[in-house]
Structure 1
């Protein structure tokens, strides 16, 4: 007598979907720690890893984590500088090149921080901060 698998719904067995693993695109502390643990697990017991080599790898891991933190801090600092620069443009004259290639100059009336790069409003047009070609004094 054959036994059917127990399921809660048609096609909803225990192993209906395969686990999908997406590979990491960046090296981080987790990857290096995994490599170190794998190396320790698979080492030859008759000739274990040199302690100097282990300390060196641990130091490299710490340095990599510090560099990652420094990069993140620099990115946050740059974003803050762009926001500050955009806010300082309120009421000033700025120019940009429109889609037709014409130079347009007007007064900055608003600033938006909704995107990754702040936008300024000139004459009703929202322009990303890094597309500005010039800035003048207030009302000139």
Structure 2
């Protein structure tokens, strides 16, 4: 009978925890007669701070994009939109509602739920022209 041992899935990102672990290991295993240069230590600490700020910036950018998608989807309500169906054809209808339940907002068009990224065009309803009386 063969049994498989579970394999550890490696991390795909280098976060601050991994960075600190590497730095501590480096300090623990350094030669006492030739300690790490303080300039190197400051440079590595600076790199850690920069990495954390870039990670925070990336998170903020993702949140901003999500908010922009929500605003764009909400603006479609009441508009005539063209979208690509699952079979690749084009269809048109009026957007009546928006759902934010998933990662991509879903727009309800003629009773059918359509992902925001499947919408290919928008046509605004013409403004009503007031009647001119003489």
Q: d(CA) in 2 for partners of 1:97 and 1:74? A: 28
The CA deviation at 1:36 is 0.5
Task: Give aligned pairs, total.
Answer: 123
Output the aligned Cα RMSD: 1.9
* 1:119 and 2:106 are equivalent in the alignment: yes
Alignment of 1:1-140 (within 5 A): 21-138=8-125
Q: Distance in 1 between matches of 2:11 and 2:63?
A: 23
Matched residue SS, 2:123: strand
Secondary structure in 1 matching 2:42? helix
The TM-score, its normalising length taken from structure 1, stands at: 0.82
Question: 1-side partners of 2:88 and 2:118: how far apart?
Answer: 12
Contact kept, 8 Å, 1:107 with 1:139, in 2: the verdict is: no
CA distance in 2, matches of 1:28, 1:67: 11
Please say if residues 119 and 127 of structure 1, whose CA atoms lie closer than 8 Å, have aligned partners that are also in contact: yes
In the aligned structure 1, how far is the partner of 2:6 from the partner of 2:27? 27
Which whole-Å CA distance do the structure 2 matches of 1:139 and 1:97 have between them? 24
Moved more, 50-59 or 122-131: 122-131
- Residue in structure 2 matched with residue 11 of structure 1 by the alignment: none
Deviations 1:46-81 (A, max 9, x none): 000000000000000000000000000000000000
Unmatched runs of 5 consecutive residues or more in structure 1: 1-17
Distance (Å, rounded) in 2 between the aligned partners of 1:98 and 1:22: 38
